[in-house]
Structure 1
Amino acid sequence: MEYTLTLPENFESMDLASLLENVWLVPRKVRHFLRTRRNVLVNHQVLPFHEQVNAGDIITLTFEDSDYKQPEIALGSSQNVTVLFEDDHLIIVNKPYGMKTHPNTPEENHTLLNHVAAYLEPVDQLPYVVHRLDKDTSGAIVFAKNPFILPILGRMLEAKDITRIYQALVSGNLDEGRFTINKKITTDRHDKRKRIVSTTHGQEAITHVTVEKSENNEAYVLCVLETGRTHQIRVHLESIGHPILGDPLYNPRPQQASRLMLHAKTLQLEHPFTKELITVQAEPGLW
């Protein structure tokens, strides 16, 4: 794998070692191999790792196949992939309702990860899971296209540098406006499939909610995740008495809709290498 990257205009000068370790999160063992194999070029020349790199410098990295473990993914069908954005390093696709994000067993080949693997197979690339959507949730989801960018995207997700806006149709009327749900979430000890809110246990979970309109005892809301807990939006909205329509786990009347009415409509991030602001819309939405 060879990657040529130009450091962006707003890049703050630092030594090459710090760039690889702290910015690009290259593992220690891989950094060692890059140095000993002389597989890092700066402006087409080998540069000692203690030397400084600056905005506009061209960095070329050459990784061997043995540097990163390659996952084995059964191939699905590329026809099931709707691409919203793609470059050499990442791909954002529109996940259909009712499709799992990734397989739980090696022989599964009907998940989104399998289908994206089939889509990338002609160019000899593999998808890597950055985050997931529930099987019954549709919308925008990002995959890494190489193990080099994977930890960088993971750090961005933890740092809340990847914005995800969800549409949800919920039971009951809500006054238009904005509010935040800040309730810890833990596993339901009576049903391991479910999550519940807890005042004392569980992980911090924060969801920002905007009510767009409310009619016919239903409310159209937008949710922005500050944290990314399992079933977070579903649990939080149920906890305030407004479960998502069509939710088989958290809505006592799921027959009100033909599917879980939750859709990841917008995904936005700053590309970690080019610093381009990427914004995608997963169409069609719920409204």
Structure 2
Amino acid sequence: MRHWLFWAAMALTLGTGAARAEGIVVLESDLGDEVEVAALKGLIFGVDRGLNVVDLSHDVPSQDIWIGAYQLSQVVPSWPAGTVFVGIVDADANRPALVARLKTGQIVVGPDNGLLTLLADQPGLADVRQLQPDLVQKPPFESPRKFAARDRFAMAGALLAANKLSFDQAGPPLGEPVMIPYTHATFVDGEVVGTIPDIDPDQGDAKTNIGSDLLAKLSLREGERVHARIDQDKHTIWEGNLVLARAPGDVPEGDSFVYVDEHDRVALGVNMGSFADQNGIGAGPDWTLSLRK
């Protein structure tokens, strides 16, 4: 089960309480195994026992960089500046590691494999450094564990959060980090186009990266219909007309509709049903939605 929406809601509470923003480490991984996660936390507390360590999610599908990037994009903006996110998805010791500062002040540590893709779009990257491979070689205490790439990310995040390592000391400027190609949300020739990055695991709604500001360019009013087309790798999978609604109850049971979700992004749903299951829709960088009045 994904925990990240819950922790996003808790962010302001932690940010305004006794915890210092610069003393927070948020972990995301595809490890799944609670034993491995507990070991990572042990390394972090070995750096500074006063740090606040929070789990975003450890249920990212194995090596699914896109889902890892999407979860970060949904959660990071809710946390205060200075919060350090450690992304351990498809971590490979042979791949360069990076440390990024976002324009909103949060810091992300992880492999240079595309995890920053959606954060680069919003809120944007202020500075990216290549994490020096010899900066964190082993725990500052005796440990029987083989020191892996994931351990290096966790400890680097802990050092940054504890102010024992400055951002500039993390390494030299990286230049352009690895990005996953996808369709950025745009409005061209009367049509709004964007990506379907995820399917809601509970409701089956198709989530998009199209903001309400772009949807507004179609000059739609609630209750009006919009023509929608969903493509995968440029092949049309589904096409039809959808009602713009505020909530599922605004349309008859079983009917599909388009709405703006809690992240101010366009989504497609079915009243008392799953839009994805009903229409054979998936998600990822090769899935796109087009809307035209």
Q: How does the TM-score come out when normalised to structure 2? A: 0.28
* Structure having the higher Rg: 1
Return the TM-score normalized by structure 1: 0.28
Select the structure that is richer in helix. Answer: 2
